[in-house]
Amino acid sequence: MTPSLTKESLIKESVTKESTAAYSLEAADGSKVEPLDIDRIRRDFPILHQQVNGKPLVYLDNAATSQKPAVVIESMNRYYREYNSNVHRGAHSLSDKATAAFEAARLHIAQYLNASGREEIIWVRGTTEAINLVAQSYGRSQLQTGDEIILSQLEHHSNIVPWQLLAEQVGAVIKVIPINEKAELDMAAYRQLLTDRTKIVAVNHVSNATGTINPIIEISRLAHATGAVVVVDGAQALPHLIVDVKALDCDFYACSGHKAFGPTGIGALYGKRELLEKMPPYQGGGEMIERVSFSGTTFNQLPFKFEAGTPAIAEAIGFAEAVRYLEQFDRKALQAHEDRLLARAMELADAVPGLSVIGQAQQKASVFSFLVDGLHPSDMGTLLDQQGIAVRTGHHCTQPLMDYLGIPGTSRASFAFYNTLEEVEKFFAALQKIIRLFA
């Protein structure tokens, strides 16, 4: 039985009152940023104000999906209430209004990612479909037997399985970048893996399992020197980082709306226009065609060439509204607040016997993945839920990483900017209670 910690050792400073009030922040680069009023921000998220199992909800499962501000919910509701109609080629006012909103959403996402134009943004169901699109369209048309695809040990299954399928189809070879003891990519090993047969490098921007932020600019520079293209899984980066695809110089960037405070069922694939132009369609049907006859079909221009069928119209509108919501804040301030939450979690973790933090990269997003001696992650998740605290447990769709680390999985608390220092401390108080009773 692990002895209980004193309040003084668990809570090293009183932060409860300041945790939901405005306070000063320092960005990662040392610059001062405007204070955040977390109380006001939390009022924008209706779902946060409820009880679970008789306890106030502490939602720490943001890496799985983020919560949605009221403006996102209302924007989708407004579409269905006021101008629900299919988009493009409509001959009536509702269709014109829906098309305008839908394409304005695409333009907004393009501007947010700093793409060169709206034609470089393809609507997809999410990051998973975006990566599959690149694999099956670009990959199948460009790769040959013996060509190489480089992945990393940190990848989500969605950035592994599509490439395995492609490798089986064309006879390509998959190589894997190893990681060090902090769950950082071994960049020296990456340099050694690159050859003139390397055609694709596919890595995540931020690891969903460890929070590691990968050096995409350097990865792109080295890949391009060998003639390879770079595909970035940006699902976990979009809610935490300022994403500038031109600065990253990646060739494709995939992201999901629901990870970044928008709805499920919508995502975006950014691709450099010159690559998208030469890629064949991914799926066939309506919308992606220019003209169809039984003797043959000609395909639509970008971006519609890759968008077969009726799109997720309300979801695209909601995704863009989520981006607008984020744009009202200083993104450096949001990131600084999340860094503060993570730093507090790491500080409190030092005082918990038997707790191991999985992933301690120097550059890290607000993901706290951990194990406690004597407690299975799934049991930990259930016991935390009984105290109103939502976390994720298991392998987090990163089974190769868990196998590499020699563990069955982890418990994962993941923070968003609407979380508070008080919630971090409630989380650790709950951990201590569980450890006293069960470890």
Positions annotated as catalytic residues are: 397
CA quadruple 110, 114, 120, 121: dihedral sign: negative
Distances (CA, A) of 189 to 54, 150, 153, 326, 399: 50, 11, 12, 37, 21
Q: Give residues with Cβ within 8 angstroms of 12, minimum separation 6.
A: 347, 348, 351
Distances (CA, A) of 265 to 43, 171, 257: 25, 32, 8
For residues 47 and 67, is the Cβ–Cβ distance under 8 A? Answer: yes
Tokens of 403: 């196998």
How far apart (Å, rounded) are the C-alpha atoms in residues 189 and 191? 5
User: Tokens 């605290």 appear where?
Assistant: 389
How far apart (Å, rounded) are the C-alpha atoms in residues 193 and 381? 38
How far apart (Å, rounded) are the C-alpha atoms in residues 113 and 238? 9
The letter for the amino acid at 43 is R
